[in-house]
Structure 1
C-alpha cells in the first residue's frame, strides 16, 4: 500500500482511499469554457461522491507545431484557476515548463504537474518541490517505470515527500503509445501514489502531422483496467466539444459522457479496495 498524501479532508491520495479524479480541459481556451467545465464536472463528481481536482494548462509549451495555440500564459491562466478555486471550492492543478514558473504557480496551484517530456529536468523538479506543494510527475514516454526512482529521489532530497507519479503510456514505434499496466504496480512500489492518465495514454503523438491524434474510444476501457489495479487517481482531460478543442481534442472525453464513464470506474475502485 502506498503512503497517503492529504490535500484536504476530501481529497486524499494513496493508502486505501477512493480514487481521486483529476480532470478538466487540456488547455485554458477561455475563462467561460473553464468555469462551465469545472462547474459541470463538480456537479457530476459530487453526485457520484468522487474526490475531484480541476486541471487545465495555462501554457501548452510542447505543442507539435509552432503555430498551435498555447493558452493565455501564466498570469491570466493562474488568475482563471484562482477563480475556479474560489467559486467552486475546488483544488486545482496545472503544469509548469520552467523552473522560474514554480514559485508563482505555487501561490495558486494545489498540485504542480511536471510534463512527461521534462520529468528528468533536475532544476524544474527541485523548483517545484521547493514550493512545498504536491508535485505530480508524469513518467516520460521514453522511461521504464523503475527509472522513476531517480525522479522520486530528486524530489525527496528537497525534503518534500508529497509526490505523485503518473503513467501516461510508453512510446511504441512511431506515432504510437501503449500502456504497460505492470508499470502502475512498479511505480507504486517506489512509495508514491500512482495516477493513471487515461487520455494522454491514447494519444497518437504527431499522428496528424502538425497536431497530435488520439483514440478517445479506448479511454473508458483503460481507465477501468487501471482501477482494477487500485490506482490512487485517474487523470482525464474533458471538454464540452473535443472535436473543436484547441489542443488534444482526439483523445479528450466528451463532457456529457463523463458521468457514464466514471460510474463503472467507481464501482471497480470500491470493489478492489475492499481487499
Structure 2
C-alpha cells in the first residue's frame, strides 16, 4: 500500500458525498492518505470546507469563488474571504479563474471576480488555486500581471504553456485525466513539469482515474494517477507520492502534516 498520498484538490463537501461522507473520509488514512485540501467553489462551500477542517485533523481548505459562481459574487464577499483567511487551516484562495467551456457567468464578470481575488491573494501573501478551462490566453495574461504564488489545478494546457507557468514560480496539478486514453497532450505537459513543481489531485468526486472512470472519485484513487505520472518520469510511484507530498506542503505552507 502506498503512503504519503496528499490530495491537493478535493471537494468532500459536494452533495455526492452526502450519503456516506464521514465513512469515506475516516477511511482515508488507513489507505495511505496523509492530507487533503478541500477546495471551495462559492461562498457557501468556504464555510462547509472550513467545517471539514475542524472535524478532521488531516484536512485543510481554501476559500474562494469559482468562475461558475462569479455572477453571484458581490463586493462585500471579498471582505468575507479576507476574514476567512485568518482561520488556522485555511491554506489558499481558490478555486478561482476562468471557464469558457460553460456560460454560467459572463466572461467579463469572470475576469472581474478573478482579478479581485488575485489581488486579495497577493495582498495577503496567500497562494492561489487556479481553474482554467478553455481560457488559456486570458488566464496567462492575468497570471503574468499579478504573478501570484500557487497552483494551476487539473492542468489542461500545452507543454509550452506549462513552461510559462513554471517561469512564474507556480506549481501544476494533475489528476485522473492522465490515465485516460486521449491523454497525450496532458501527458506531454506533465512530462515537462519537474518533480519539484508537480502535484497530484483528485478533484473528487469528479475525474476518477481509469479503472474507476465514471464512478465517484475519492482520494485513495490517486494511486492510479501517481503510477501513470511515475511511469512518465521514470521513477517508482512511491517516490512520486513522496515528492508531490513535499511539494504540496511547500506551496500550501503546511508544516504539521503527519506522515
After TM superposition, the score normalised by the length of structure 1 is 0.47
After TM superposition, the score normalised by the length of structure 2 is 0.49
